[in-house]
Amino acid sequence: MELIEHLGLGLATAITWANLLYCLIGVFVGTLIGVLPGLGPTATIAMLLPVTFALPPISALIMLAGIYYGSQYGGSTTSILVNIPGEAASVVTCLDGYQMARQGRAGVALTTAAIGSFFAGTFATFLIAFFAPGLSAMALKFGPAEYFSLMVLGLVAATVLAQGSLLHAIGMVVLGLLLGLVGTDVTSGAQRFTFDIPQLADGIGFVVVAMGMFGLTEITRNLEREGSRSIIAKITSLMPTKEDWKRMVAPILRGTIIGSAVGILPGSGSILGSFAAYSVEKKVSKNSAQFGKGAIEGVAAPEAANNAGAQTSFIPMLTLGIPSNPVMALMVGAMIIQGIQPGPSVITEQPALFWGIIVSMWIGNLFLVILNLPLIGIWVRMIMIPYRLLYPAILVFCCIGVFSLKNTEADVYFMALFGALGYLFSKLDCEPAPMLLAFILGPLMEEYLRRAMLLSRGSPWVFVQRPISAVLLGLAVLAMLAVLLPSFSKTREEAFRE
């Protein structure tokens, strides 16, 4: 069967010593930043992008991917031990995980999270391997109108699934699109919004924006409230009891499926998956009364979901070239830097790259399950590093990293600007993620819009006349309507408030 051949190619690519090493480095760094609150995968990947220039493309992408799904593993550690989510998606794990820790069952909680994540990761990897070729083949039939509508759907989904006010999120998307247009217009050659500043001729670098809004902004937000963290450092046994094993099976399965499905949707990645899995589990479980007081299902389901989601969020990026969340947007950027044009042709033109990444994701999950539990002592020590020592270091890496992109101080100034803007926006309930997504998609969307209009001789109806495009736009409208419905919006608010 073709699938076996493909996986074989992927395996051969992924198990070279170099790629194994980069995978290991990636998941290790990922777990590390997942454990440390205040530094997320977006900022880290942005920081490491300049470093990946020097690496061969497959190794670079393997490492960056490892950082992303590794951070989902690490995030659960702080959630359980300190009641502070190391990662946005691990918020839900705090609810029951920390309670389990207080009952002396921290080890069991950590093991549950690891097992759930490993199972989910394996499942998701096979899901990708199975569906990706079909999706890519279908996408090859896409014309500019379809691509435009797909991006609209992606951006709408990003606003729907974003926290904070929906109206503000839409505004952030539009603002992101506008900022993405700064620079030289490829089609006409005109310089837009550059105010004759030469460093803006190529536009504002997305790494600069990412580091500003996800790095500097995060640091500033953490400076608002400094406090000590009390940590449950005593971890006794790691092994779950037989009763625990029985209880965690179904939640892991449900969490995996929910997480995989939600992760594909543009806009979320892993966060919404873990919320949804927790809510579903709570409704469905026989032990729902225990939720919030240390129910093992409350750890198993969301952890499986967030890992599954992290991996399936690669699907739109690898098959269609459309990023479904800021991390994927950065991966698209990384591919472009390496000279690879993301899109449906990647799977046929660069099969070693495609399948190598997929297989390495499974290998990475294996590393993580082996790494996380024995090394728990190290992670605990890392958590205890006071933030006041950590964030200047983060700032240093951001500054040097951003400078090294184009060797210009202007990028450092822009990063500071976006850091300030990002902080301002965050205080006003305006989420940065939709903006970054829109920022990267902006020029692309304009290009597809132009081409679609050219081909349709100026008729905007082309977007609904072509069936695939119409379906995509229809989904976007549905998503918007769903959010505006009072019942759904209440659920959404509740989910985020918890």
Partner 1 sequence: MIRGTKDFWTGLIYIFFGLSALIIGRNYPMGTAIKMGPSYFPTVLGGLLILIGIISLVRSFLKTGTPIGRFTFKGLALVVVSTVLFGLIVRGAGLVIALPVLVLVSASASREFRWVPSLLMAAGLTLFCIAVFLKGLGIPLPILGSWFGG
Is 175 near partner 1 (CB under 8 A)? yes
Binding to partner 1 in span 33-62, by CB under 8 A? 51, 54
Tokens of 476: 């976007």
Helices (H), 15-56: 17-35, 41-52
Give Cα separations from 415 to 62, 212, 426 (angstroms): 27, 5, 16
Longest dimension (CA), the chain: 70
Helix, strand and coil content of the chain, in percent to the nearest 5, comes to 75, 0, 25
Residues in contact with partner 1, counted by CB under 8 A, come to a total of 62
Tokens of 368: 């993580």
Q: CA–CA separation, 314 vs 419, rounded Å?
A: 27
Is 167 near partner 1 (CB under 8 A)? yes
Q: CA–CA separation, 365 vs 73, rounded Å?
A: 9
Tokens of 206: 């997305």
Binding to partner 1 in span 194-223, by CB under 8 A? 216, 219-220, 223
The residue among 367, 258, 360 whose CA lies nearest residue 304 is 258
CB of 100 to partner 1, least distance (A): 31
Asked whether the beta carbons of 285 and 115 are under 8 A apart, the reply is no
**Considering beta carbons, is residue 220 or 290 the nearer one to partner 1?**
220
Give Cα separations from 7 to 1, 20, 128, 140, 352 (angstroms): 10, 16, 11, 22, 10
Q: CA–CA separation, 329 vs 206, rounded Å?
A: 9
The single residue among 407, 461, 486, 487 that binds partner 1, judged by CB under 8 A, is 407
CB of 127 to partner 1, least distance (A): 36
Interface segment toward partner 1; rule CB under 8 A; list 88-96, 163-171, 329-337, 464-472: 163-171
Is 236 near partner 1 (CB under 8 A)? no
Binding to partner 1 in span 367-396, by CB under 8 A? 386-389, 391-393, 395-396
Is 403 near partner 1 (CB under 8 A)? yes
Tokens of 241: 């009891």
Q: CA–CA separation, 479 vs 467, rounded Å?
A: 18
Tell me which amino acid residue 165 is: S
Helix (H, G, I), strand (E, B) or coil at 334: helix
Is 22 near partner 1 (CB under 8 A)? no
Interface segment toward partner 1; rule CB under 8 A; list 103-111, 167-175, 262-270, 315-323: 167-175
**Considering beta carbons, is residue 269 or 422 the nearer one to partner 1?**
422
**Considering beta carbons, is residue 119 or 448 the nearer one to partner 1?**
448
Interface segment toward partner 1; rule CB under 8 A; list 5-13, 82-90, 179-187, 360-368: 179-187
Binding to partner 1 in span 87-106, by CB under 8 A? none
Q: CA–CA separation, 380 vs 32, rounded Å?
A: 11
User: Which residue's structure tokens are 């902080």?
Assistant: 423
**Considering beta carbons, is residue 3 or 186 the nearer one to partner 1?**
186
The residue among 68, 33, 54 whose CA lies nearest residue 404 is 54
Is 497 near partner 1 (CB under 8 A)? no
Interface segment toward partner 1; rule CB under 8 A; list 5-13, 103-111, 168-176, 365-373: 168-176
The single residue among 1, 4, 190, 239 that binds partner 1, judged by CB under 8 A, is 190
CB of 413 to partner 1, least distance (A): 5
Q: CA–CA separation, 412 vs 31, rounded Å?
A: 28
Binding to partner 1 in span 412-441, by CB under 8 A? 412-413, 415-416, 419-420, 423-424, 427-430
Give Cα separations from 305 to 241, 267, 332, 412 (angstroms): 22, 16, 24, 37
CB of 202 to partner 1, least distance (A): 16
The single residue among 1, 17, 141, 188 that binds partner 1, judged by CB under 8 A, is 188
Q: CA–CA separation, 383 vs 393, rounded Å?
A: 15
CB of 188 to partner 1, least distance (A): 5
The single residue among 11, 250, 453, 475 that binds partner 1, judged by CB under 8 A, is 453
Binding to partner 1 in span 455-484, by CB under 8 A? 457-458, 460
CB of 149 to partner 1, least distance (A): 16
The residue among 63, 93, 98, 62 whose CA lies nearest residue 75 is 93
Interface segment toward partner 1; rule CB under 8 A; list 38-46, 188-196, 288-296, 488-496: 188-196
**Considering beta carbons, is residue 428 or 481 the nearer one to partner 1?**
428
Asked whether the beta carbons of 266 and 153 are under 8 A apart, the reply is yes
Give Cα separations from 406 to 51, 333, 372, 443 (angstroms): 13, 15, 37, 20
Is 249 near partner 1 (CB under 8 A)? no
**Considering beta carbons, is residue 200 or 277 the nearer one to partner 1?**
200
Which letter does DSSP use for residue 241 in this model? P
The single residue among 446, 470, 471, 496 that binds partner 1, judged by CB under 8 A, is 446
Residues that bind partner 1 (CB under 8 A): 51, 54, 165, 167-168, 170-171, 174-175, 177-178, 181, 185, 187-188, 190, 192-193, 216, 219-220, 223-226, 386-389, 391-393, 395-396, 398-400, 403-404, 407, 409-410, 412-413, 415-416, 419-420, 423-424, 427-430, 446, 449-450, 453-454, 457-458, 460
